[in-house]
Structure 1
């Protein structure tokens, strides 16, 4: 997920949560006869609110609000579901020369090496863009009687090898381990 989309998602969640908390708190205060809640609700003019849909500006305003909400929802959906794949990482940047490596190939290679560890059923590697950081992600699926400590040491050595191979390029390595349940 991209940083901007994650920030917008969190902002929407905070606003929705605060609105729901405020509305729920007011409803509870009214239910338990808290004076300020009763007084606030007594100033509410039902007739004035009931007349709003008859105003000339109501339908265009409602149409604009719906259109903006639909566009915002589509933008958030596209932003949240857009592919996070990343291409290459630059290992050498000189004025007349540059070298780039394919991170997907490196991820597949790391996955193939980790798949040879005893107890690993399968491993799959991909390269993604995680909030602006190119990341090599390897998902490993292993049996329940798996040597976790030995595997962690192997995974750390593979991550260190990738870091050395990329020559200081800003690339993260993530290994996700999924262990079967004991039966």
Structure 2
């Protein structure tokens, strides 16, 4: 996930959470006859609030709010579900020379290496951009009677090999292990 999208997601979650907590707290205070809640609620003119939907500006305002909400929701969906693929990592950057490594090929190679481990049903590797860091991401699917400790050692050695091969380039390696349920 991209850093900006993650920040916006968290900000919206915090704002919605605080709004729900405030609304729920006020409702509880009103329900249990807290004087300040009753006094604050009595300031509202109920007849005026009930007449709001009959105003001439109500329907256009409601339409604008719905349109803005739909656009924001679509932007959030696009931001959260947009492909995070990345192409290459810069291995050498000199004034007159640069070398780049294809991270998709490296991810496929790591997946093929990990797929040879006993008990692994399949492995898939992709290169993604995870919060601004190019990442070799490998998903491994294994049987229920899988030796996790030995696999972890093997996966760590693959990650160390990738780090050495890229010569200190800022690239992360992530291996996600999915183990079948016992039947």
> What secondary structure is seen at the aligned counterpart in 1 of 2:154?
helix
Offset of residue 45 of structure 1:
0.7
CA-atom RMSD in angstroms? 1.4
Alignment-derived partner of residue 51 in structure 1: 51
Alignment-derived partner of residue 180 in structure 2: 180
Alignment-derived partner of residue 150 in structure 1: 150
> What secondary structure is seen at the aligned counterpart in 2 of 1:146?
coil
> What secondary structure is seen at the aligned counterpart in 2 of 1:17?
helix
Alignment-derived partner of residue 124 in structure 1: 124
Alignment-derived partner of residue 101 in structure 2: 101
Alignment-derived partner of residue 159 in structure 1: 159
User: What's the TM-score once normalised by structure 1's chain length?
Assistant: 0.93
> What secondary structure is seen at the aligned counterpart in 1 of 2:51?
helix
Q: How many residues align?
A: 183
> What secondary structure is seen at the aligned counterpart in 2 of 1:86?
coil
Offset of residue 57 of structure 1:
4.1
Offset of residue 17 of structure 1:
1.0
Q: Can you list the C-alpha shifts for 1:150-182, whole angstroms capped at 9, x where unaligned?
A: 111111000000000001111000011111222
Q: Can you list the C-alpha shifts for 1:27-82, whole angstroms capped at 9, x where unaligned?
A: 11111111111111111111222333444544443333233222211211111111
Unpaired segments ≥5 residues, structure 1: none
Alignment-derived partner of residue 65 in structure 2: 65
Q: Can you list the C-alpha shifts for 1:120-169, whole angstroms capped at 9, x where unaligned?
A: 11111111111111111111111122111111111100000000000111
Alignment-derived partner of residue 25 in structure 2: 25
Q: Distance in 2 between matches of 1:181 and 1:55?
A: 59
Alignment-derived partner of residue 138 in structure 2: 138
